[in-house]
A and B are shown apart, each in its own frame.
Chain A
Amino acid sequence: MYAIELTDGTTSATMPLLHVPLSQSNVEGAVDVQTLDNNVYTDFVALKRFWAHTWRYMKESDFNTLKGFYDRQFTLFAYPRLTISELGVVDVPVRMTLSPQNIIDNCGTVEDVEVTFRETRQLEETS
């Protein structure tokens, strides 16, 4: 089964089982350049990965766990690290985004929780 594990300077958590689809894509740091003879070449800086997932419904406590990782990006000044073992993703620093908290009942259940993770390097050498 596919699972998302998150770690940062405060805690680690394995999020609820995923609802498919889980998408994985590439972020091309690349530019195609056309020469005068109408051919192209590609200059690239780096390929990075991007993951997106939506939980159709999520318990309030699970959402709060997820939101905790999102919020701590801006208090720890560091990105969380993502592990999805089944995809060979292990402890990869990621820029995380989180969709709005759409509460649909009095238990605090949240609907359509979309999370995205963009692979990046942690700048810890100079900070």
Chain B
Amino acid sequence: MQTVSTKFNQLANGQVRPLKWEVRASFDKDFDEDVNFFELNTSLLNGGDVLAPSNNSVIQEWDKYKYINLSDRVISVEVESEQTEPYSVVQSMADITFNNYDNFFTPKSGSAIQDYILPRRPFRILMGFGNETVPLFVGLSTKLPEINKQSRTARFHCIDFLTYLFEQKIDNTVMLQDYSTGEILSYLLEHLGLLPSQYDIDPVSFNRINFFYVEKGATFGSIVRPLMQAEQGRLWMDELGIIRFLNRQNYPTTSVISYDESNVVDYDPPTDDDVINYAKITAKVLEEQDTQKLPEIAEVFSIPAGGTYEYWFSFSDPVTEINTPTYSATEIEDSFFTASLDKDGTLPYADVVLDSIDVFNKSAKLVFQNTGSSLAFVTGLVLWGKPVKVIDVIEVEESDQDSIDALELRPYEFETNYIQDRNDAVSKVSILVDDYKDVGSVIEFQAKGNPAVQIGDIGTIDLDGFQGDHVISKVINIMSIADGYTQRIRATHKDPRTYFILNQSLLNGSDVLSP
């Protein structure tokens, strides 16, 4: 739960609730360099300073935009935050419909902002009661607004900054050895241009990856989702715009809100849609090998007198290191090349030298120079280096026979290179099956809404078919003039506990032994 005042909670739980929303946007994307965090006895109330998150003192770049308040124009505002089940990342999106009677949001309309009605405009959304709101969303519009001439409205669709980052491509190959999930995340976020002050990574990760390898051009999202799946951690952007990663031991463990017939408007009956009673993980364990002769063989190529030749060498496995080849007339126990005045290699020719070598994980660029006055042939090229190979394939499965007997097989399988330890894999399939084997593991309901509720909160549910503590994994908040406030929640039944992993969990810590 976000921290709110007693008055806020009184209104949230009250009979008559004055709704309040705030929508702000920065169409010109101007920065306000004077933005600072609010300091007691220093900052002006309702001034330009923004409230710092309670446990963090960073200033996010998106806080620095100059936002205009568009709250009076709002017809409806919707914010949806969802964690991909069963374990992964949290993404948020928002839809805002504005009154556009005067064409304020219509491009080329003579509006004061007409030059700035463009995609990727920053938006902030807050909701609350009375005079108090809590932040719910920080993100960007995806495209120009949808203008409805008949109803005189303009609708913006927005994604949070993390979702925007997921679409960004990694612009060179990444190869990391012996990195934890958190360290990889930090590396990638920094690679994408974020400052360390813009994210908060749990210092402890349970997954350590011998060899992390990503091809150039992969999107950040395509890398991070399996990383989170393997870690069973949670990556999200909080309501204040800070990117956060928590390992599963640091999830909230105590219930912060209760739901029963007095504050639930409607709920879906238990279904078997989300049941998992068989889980299988297939993981390839990669490891850097000792220096050895690489199996690939180069083709013969020629270099004109005094000229150079750029030769690309491709490897089937990634390599972390290549020994620089030198000319040798005979084979040696190291990288070398042979050169000759003829294609068959019968006339050795020592005037060919290696000018440069660049190694790119699964390829290497070698530039040869012919310093002599005759046409030369490179007739052999043998490289020695350190390849990274699959040394083990872990296949681990877990099932719950009672659930299979009752509900038929409900499998969940995934392949990953990010789980490197069999015990770890065993623990993960056990957690999966244990959490999802029963009917009614997941509940979706409409609550008497409270915008302070967050993904990851634990709520205690007391409804027919659903009892006990549930972890909230999806929240939709909608406020509108016509329909008031609707909050829809999805929550997964979970005993708040984690499983002990050898060499990773703390003795006498909060992890329990896997079933």
Q: How far is the CB of A35 from chain B (nearest CB, A)?
A: 6
Known: A41-B16, A43-B19, A44-B16. A31 touches B261 (CB 8 A): no
Q: How far is the CB of A41 from chain B (nearest CB, A)?
A: 5
Q: What residues of B have a CB within 8 angstroms of the CB of A33 in the complex?
A: 265, 448, 484
Indicate if A45 sits at the interface (CB-CB under 8 A). Answer: yes
A126 touches B70 (CB 8 A): yes
Indicate if B112 sits at the interface (CB-CB under 8 A). Answer: yes
Most buried by B among A35, A121, A125, A126: A126
The chain B residue with its CB closest to the CB of A32 is: B484
Indicate if B264 sits at the interface (CB-CB under 8 A). Answer: yes
Q: Which residues, 67 to 126 on A, are CB-close (under 8 Å) to B?
A: 77, 121, 123, 125-126
Known: A42-B15, A125-B72. A37 touches B262 (CB 8 A): yes
A36 touches B266 (CB 8 A): yes
Indicate if B506 sits at the interface (CB-CB under 8 A). Answer: no
Q: How far is the CB of A55 from chain B (nearest CB, A)?
A: 29
Indicate if B324 sits at the interface (CB-CB under 8 A). Answer: no
A39 touches B262 (CB 8 A): yes
Known: A37-B262, A41-B15, A41-B16. A121 touches B72 (CB 8 A): yes
C-beta contact mask, B235-275 vs A, less than 8 Å → 1, else 0?
00000000000000000000000000111111100000000
The chain B residue with its CB closest to the CB of A38 is: B261
Q: Which residues, 49 to 74 on B, are CB-close (under 8 Å) to A?
A: 68-70, 72-73
Q: What residues of B have a CB within 8 angstroms of the CB of A44 in the complex?
A: 16-19, 484
Indicate if B290 sits at the interface (CB-CB under 8 A). Answer: no
B265 touches A34 (CB 8 A): yes
In the bound complex, CA of A37 to CA of B266 (Å): 11
Q: How far is the CB of B90 from chain A (nearest CB, A)?
A: 26
Indicate if B161 sits at the interface (CB-CB under 8 A). Answer: no
Q: What residues of A have a CB within 8 angstroms of the CB of B70 in the complex?
A: 126
The chain B residue with its CB closest to the CB of A29 is: B481
Indicate if A11 sits at the interface (CB-CB under 8 A). Answer: no
Q: How far is the CB of B452 from chain A (nearest CB, A)?
A: 16
C-beta contact mask, A41-56 vs B, less than 8 Å → 1, else 0?
1111100000000000
In the bound complex, CA of A125 to CA of B262 (Å): 41
B16 touches A125 (CB 8 A): no
B483 touches A31 (CB 8 A): yes
Indicate if A30 sits at the interface (CB-CB under 8 A). Answer: yes
A-B pair number, CB within 8 angstroms: 66
Q: How far is the CB of A45 from chain B (nearest CB, A)?
A: 5
Indicate if A10 sits at the interface (CB-CB under 8 A). Answer: no
In the bound complex, CA of A126 to CA of B102 (Å): 10
Which listed residue, B17, B69, B73, B112, touches A43 by the CB 8 Å rule? B17
Known: A41-B448, A126-B104. A36 touches B17 (CB 8 A): no
Indicate if A127 sits at the interface (CB-CB under 8 A). Answer: yes
A127 touches B104 (CB 8 A): yes
A36 touches B265 (CB 8 A): yes
Most buried by B among A31, A43, A127: A43
B73 touches A30 (CB 8 A): no
Indicate if B384 sits at the interface (CB-CB under 8 A). Answer: no
The chain A residue with its CB closest to the CB of B113 is: A126
Indicate if B363 sits at the interface (CB-CB under 8 A). Answer: no
Q: What residues of A have a CB within 8 angstroms of the CB of B282 in the complex?
A: none
A35 touches B261 (CB 8 A): yes
Q: What residues of A have a CB within 8 angstroms of the CB of B463 in the complex?
A: 36
C-beta contact mask, A1-38 vs B, less than 8 Å → 1, else 0?
00000000000000000000000000001110111110
A43 touches B484 (CB 8 A): yes
Q: What residues of B have a CB within 8 angstroms of the CB of A39 in the complex?
A: 262
Indicate if B137 sits at the interface (CB-CB under 8 A). Answer: no
The chain A residue with its CB closest to the CB of B17 is: A43
The chain A residue with its CB closest to the CB of B464 is: A36
In the bound complex, CA of A41 to CA of B486 (Å): 12
The chain A residue with its CB closest to the CB of B20 is: A45
In the bound complex, CA of A36 to CA of B265 (Å): 5
A36 touches B18 (CB 8 A): no
Which listed residue, B15, B18, B484, touches A31 by the CB 8 Å rule? B484
Q: What residues of B have a CB within 8 angstroms of the CB of A126 in the complex?
A: 68-70, 72-73, 104, 112
In the bound complex, CA of A123 to CA of B263 (Å): 35
Most buried by A among B73, B101, B448, B484: B484
Question: 9 A-B pairs, CB-CB below 8 angstroms?
Answer: A35-B262, A36-B262, A37-B261, A45-B484, A77-B101, A121-B72, A123-B99, A125-B72, A126-B70
Question: A residues bordering B, Cβ < 8 Å?
Answer: 29-31, 33-37, 39, 41-45, 77, 121, 123, 125-127
Question: B residues bordering A, Cβ < 8 Å?
Answer: 14-19, 68-70, 72-73, 99, 101-102, 104, 112, 261-267, 448, 463, 481, 483-485
The 10 closest A-B pairs by CB, nearest first: A31-B484, A43-B484, A36-B261, A37-B261, A43-B485, A42-B16, A77-B102, A43-B17, A37-B262, A41-B15
